[in-house]
Chains A and B, each alone.
Chain A
Amino acid sequence: MTPLTCAECRERLPEYGAGSLADHQSIKRHLGDCAECRREAALWREVSSAFAAEDTSIPPDTSAAATWTTVRARVHAPGQVRAESGRMTLTRSSKLDHIGAPVAGDTSPVRGEERPAPRWRSYAAVAAVLLIALLSAAIFGVMNGHGRATMVTAPKTCAPSQMKATLPAYASVASISMVSATDGWAVGEVYDHQQDAIPPQTLLLRFQNCAWTPTGDTIPTAQLYKVAMVSATEGWAVGATTKRQAISEDLNGHFIYDWEADQPFLLHYSGGQWRRVELPGVQRVIGVLALRMVSADEGWLLLDHGGVHTDPYTKAYSYTLLHYQHGAWTPVPLSFKEPTTILWDLVATAPNDCWIVGYGTALSDGGGLIAHYSGGDWQEWNGTIGGVRTYTYYTVAMTSTHDVWAVGNPMLHFDGKTWTSAGAPALSQPGGSDLMSATMISPTEGWAFFSPGPLPNRSNELPVLHFTDGEWQEQRITVVSPVHIESLSNLSMASPTQGWAIGAISIPTSYGAAVRGVLVYYDNGAWAVPPGQAG
């Protein structure tokens, strides 16, 4: 055997010092002859010991049993799907009754034992402040023709191969709203994760003539979350200003900053112009969950203020629901909500009618949550709904008030009178993912998409659920893309067979991976990322 050089030896000394090197005879021989490498071997042994000493400062493990109980409950939750021989199979467990531990939200840690008494804050004072007349404070931008519906004549029909996107570098799309096969809007942000001193700015894209292009109108130090068009001439978008916050440190030990949401604001598209509309009195948000317009005169906005610990094991989450009517956004009390309830999505298609889904996180209110607002009153379902034990709901989709899908674990359908899981098989959650986004194209067809899996996707194949022939079926779709797509979301249909969705791609940053949204074209079952989004 050829003796090792010092360089070869030193390369393996860290493993040798940790005692994990399987073939260490050649190292030992070299150390016998080389005092310099022996000193370095001592260093690596000390490093190993120093880490071991550091680990002793970690508090004693007292949660092993409690966490195992929750793991056990989660793996037995109905609708869990397990990978088997390269394909996903549906399982429906009946063991839950034997577990002895109620199951709370799917992703939350240890739960509190008692549900706090309802103490959702009174909205009276907030309402006084939030009776928001439309404050068309500033003209956000003039669309120079491409924003004017009256200018769109003889729209060009596009073949899939003609689709393209001319996006600025570091653009990330967050939401899409198609008006027709030839007209649509998308919003998001432009932000370079490697240049964290430079704030994000809003991204506003228009789809016309087979191409997505930025309008040129931006708001600095802000990002847009959602867009909801009512027609070619009327629509809304919602965003938030951002503020810089230290989140980690870089390779040299310097702080890394990120820009987090702060004050929300709206953009109103009318008369061919986007105008900024402030939301005075609304507290800081950490995100926007939903913006849904029913008509030019009515819409809903659900804002997320995040959670705060009320004790080491319990968090209270707060949200603001705004209802647009009579030209003003006014708050609607979420009277059904417990402090520990997490809300995720809202959908609305009819006047004075909306649906919200989420789940409880306390042991006493654990399980899926569905709330229906109708004419000023809330009706709530949670836990066991329609005879089915529910767990988590992250999204809701509907085509009418007689066709509502609570999408999650398990999938439930509302026919206008009752919730039922009949005809909706248990849904898969491959790799620990959850169903996070769904779009019903019609009462007979819909798509549901999972969150990214536990590991980076190494192919352009994605598991999805497709509602067709009266049932949800698992499919693996291929996204034609130059980059790996981690997940899909936010499918907005432009016609019965064509639409646009957002694909999440993972981009490396100095602190790990971040997600960026790209535009994905959907054409009758085929999915593709059009060129022009490489930045």
Chain B
Amino acid sequence: MSAVTAAAAAPPATRADGPVLSVRDLVVCTHGPDGPVVLVDGVSLDVQPGEVLALVGESGSGKSLTMLAVMGLLPAGTWLEHGTVTFRGEDLTADRCRLERLRGDRLAMVFQDPMTTLNPVRRVGAQLAETVRLHARLTRRQADERVVELLDAVGIPDPAAKARDYPHQWSGGMRQRALIAGAVAHGPDLLVADEPTTALDVTIQAQVMRVLAERRARTGAAMILITHDLGLVAQAADRIAVMYAGRVVEEQDVLGVFDAPRHPYTRGLLASVLSLGRDGERAYAITGQPPVPAERGTGCAFRARCDVGRDLAVCGEQVPTLLATGQGRVACHRPVPLPAPEVVR
């Protein structure tokens, strides 16, 4: 094991005081035909060192945008209107230069489509070597050696030869594993994985998740797993934050949320997933569609699809705030009541 590998495997200094990442009141907007449109509406989250937080929601819920905003990678035409991002105690929103230096080093991100994430005209090994040399003083040869080690660690066969390939010559699973290896090469404190398996075959998904888990165990990194797949959440996450229409609507331990979801939307999500296993019954799906950002209106964004909220005045008038309950937090005027202890499943 080279000196470089040893350094990367050392666990991060434990900070007993406080979360790795702390997001407060994040607001992301874009241009609309009649003025600015709010896409992420006041999101607050914490991630503790070493834990896995799953950020769950449908497309359009703002989960990706939230993390892109944290990383300073918002696409053209969108901007951070408001909010603070604190990473290991530092305020990143105040200092963009600091953020850009931390990217790739302490704060890393893995994206959804491994084909488009790699530069198609450059060899995979060269791109990974570039990643490795960005935050460590290595010679070309040292970097190449390190790349071979990384590829080997994530199970790429014949890594030295494969490194000379171009991205289109590799399979999707191989590309994603290599990208993960690159992302955690410098032992970041936080890894953001934006739908890392969505673009891959189901059979490859497990392999990639394993690699993620293993790399995390090596480096001790915390992870934010953005996904719409509750199965992955059950498998890999410690805590879950559910987003709907740009807001966090529920936050809980994963075990707790599967047992007792408090927000009607979360309950609906779980019901639609779990119902797939039962023979003979129609799969459950929440009626309707999430509202388009420009049409979220006043009050709770879920009210139109909510059995309870449809008829409640307060749901139409006031946006529910995220309040602590015994198990976590929920933003709802009439949270789902806890099941009575003696209910048998």
**Do A and B belong to a common assembly?**
no
Chain B residues at the A interface, C-beta cutoff of 8 Å: none
